[in-house]
Amino acid sequence: MPEETCKRHGSQEEALPSLPAAVSPDAAAAPGRYSFVRSGSGSRQIPPGWGSVPLHIWQSALLSGTAGALGRPAFQDANEWPQRHSVGGLPGWLLRKPNIHLRTSDPDFLAAVDSWFKVLLPKIYPWLYHNGGNIISIQVENEYGSYRACDVSYMRHLAGLFRALLGDRILLFTTDGPEGLKCGSLEGLYTTVDFGPADNMTKVFALQRKYEPHGPLVNSEYYTGWLDYWGHNHSTRSIPAVTKGLKDMLELGASVNMYMFHGGTNFGYWNGADEKGHFLPITTSYDYDAPISEAGDPTLKLFALRNVISQFQEIPLGPLPPPSPKMMLGPLTLHMDGNLLDFLYFLCPQGPIRSILPVTFEAVKQDRGFMLYRTYLTQTVFEPTQLWVPNDGVHDRAYVMVDGVFQGVLERNMKQKLFLTGKVGAKLDILLENMGRLSFGSNHSDFKGLLEPPILGQTVLTQWLIFPLKVDKLVKWWFPLQLLRSSRPQTPSGPTFYSTTFPILDSGGDTFLFLPGWTKGQVWINGFNLGRYWTKRGPQQTLYVPRPLLFTRGAFNQITLLELENVPSNPQIQFLDSPILNNTLHEAYIYSLSADIQSASEPMELSGH
C-alpha cells in the first residue's frame, strides 16, 4: 500500500477524494491530446506523494481495498489546488479561441469537454463500486454556483454525458458553498455542501436540506487549513477549531471529506490565482496547514483528528509511517551564467513574431511561463518619461529593460510609476511573467501578456518583436552542456541566470531550499522546475525539494536560478531540514499598493474553493 494511503488509512479516512490533477487535460498539449501522469515515464514525471495522485498510485489505492474513493474527474475543478496550471484547472489552449465562454454551453467549450470525458470516463468505469472497484460516487463540475454563468443547460449536458459514459448505477453529486447552491445544484445529482470550521454548520446543512431533502448530510470539502497568497500572512486553522468542527458533524451523523488532508506543491508554473479586490497569485507551497504536510509528514493536527474519529469508530492498529528523512546542506555560492537577454537565441530558437501591436500569450500558443516583447524607440527621450499600460493591461508582471539595463517593474493591479529615458533607436525590452490564471468564482478568460500597447508619455509604442521563451528547455538541455556564456557585468540586475553544482555524499533526504536576500524568480533542480520564489514579498521563504529530485552518493546536482530583479551581494542559498512558510515582509509589499487596494495585513473574506 502506498505510504500516503497508509497515513490516510491510519486515520480511518474511509474515502479517498481523488482530485484529477493526475488526469486533467495537459495544458501543454494540443487540443485532443491528453497526458496521464505515470511515475517514471511520460512527459510529466511526478513522484508519488507530491500533492497529486499519479495514475498508478490512484489505482493501487483502489486495489488495496482500504478506502472508498470520491471521484472528481471534472474538466474544471478546485481552483488553486496543487498543479492547477492554467485556467482554474482548464487547459490554456482553450483561450486560443478568444471569444470562448468557459464553463457554459458554448459549443466550442462543450466540444472540448466531450472530447476529454470520452477519454477519461471509460478509464474510470472499471473502478466503480458496482463493478468491483472502490469509487462510490462521482462529482460533476465543482462549485459551479460560484461561477458567474449559472448555465443550467451546461450542467444538464454534463449530467447527461456522465450518465451516458458511466451508467445509471453510480451516484453523481455536486458540491457548492452555501451561496452557490442555487446555480450549482441540479435535479438528479445529489447536492452536497462545503465549508470550514468557522462557518455555521447548522445553517449550512439546513441549506443542503432545502435542495436535498433526503439522504445523508455531506460536507464534501471540510477545510482543515487554507491557501496562501504572495504578500499575505501564512494561513492556518487551529487544531481545536478543526477538531471541534469535525466532532460536531460526526455527532450529527454527517459524512465528511477533508480538504486538504495532504498538503501539496505548485511546482513549476502550476499555481492559480484569486481576485478579491485585486489579483492574488497563490504561493508555490500548498502546505495548507493540512493534517499531512507538504512533505508528506504527519502533524499534530493529524493525530488530533485521529483521536476525534476514534470516538465514533475503530481506527486501525499500529503506528503511522514516520516523517521522511530530512537533509541540511550549505550555504552554497551561486555563479552568474548571464543575463536572460544573452540567451535569447536559445530561449526562442524559432525567432520572434512580428506584430504592430503586442499580442497575448494565448495568441502565440504560449500557455505559461515568460514572453519577451521588444521594440525600439523612434525618438530620443531626454527627460524621464512615464511608461504605462492602459486598462490594467499588464498580465501579470513586467520587467522593463532599456538597452539591456533593468529599469523596474510594472505589475497587475498595482499603480507603480516607471520613468524611462533613451536615445532614438534604443532597445526597449519588456519581459512578461504569467503568474497564474484566475481560477475560482469569476474565472473569466484570464489572458496573459500585454493586453494593451504600452505608452511612453503620450506615444503609443508599436512595431513589436515577440519572443515566446522556452526557459525550461534551456535549463534542462542547454545549460548542462556548459554553453559559451557572455561576459558578466559587474553589477547584474534584472532577469539573470545563476547556477552551481554540489554533491550529496550520503543517501540524502527531503529538504527545503532557502534563498536569503534573493528577490523573485524561478528555480530548477537538475532540470526540474521547483516553482517560484518571492523572498522579498513572502510569506513563503523556502521551496520543498523532494528527495527523488536529488542525485546522491557523491553524484553532482545542478541548481539554476532565474532571478528576475535584484541579486544579493552574497549570492548564496541553503538547504534546510524544515520549511519557513510564515515570513511576510509587509514593508516590501505595501509600499507598492495604492490607497484603494487592501493592505496585505488586513483580514480577507474567504470563500469556498
Catalytic residue numbers, as ranges: 143, 221
Helix, strand or coil for residue 95? helix
Amino acid at 591: Y
Contact 155, 102 (CB under 8 A): no
For residue 377, which of 430, 429, 424 has the smallest C-alpha distance? 424
Length of the chain as a residue count: 609
Half-sphere exposure of 468 (CA within 13 A, CB side): 14
Q: Among 606, 2, 39, 584, which residue's Cα sits nearest to residue 292?
A: 2
Q: How many CB atoms lie within 10 A of CB 524?
A: 24
Report how far residue 366's alpha carbon sits from residue 471's, in angstroms, rounded to the nearest whole number. 12
CA 226 to chain CA centroid, Å, is: 14
The helix or strand, by DSSP H or E, that contains position 440, with its residue range, turns out to be: none
The radius of gyration of the chain's CA atoms, rounded to the nearest angstrom, is 24
Secondary structure percentages of the chain, helix, strand, coil, to 5:
25, 30, 50
165/425 Cα distance (integer angstroms): 61
Are 291 and 3 in contact by the 8 Å Cβ rule? The answer is no
Q: How many Å apart are CA 232 and CA 586, to the nearest integer?
A: 8
Q: How far apart are CA 52 and CA 265, in angstroms?
A: 9
Largest CA distance in the chain: 78
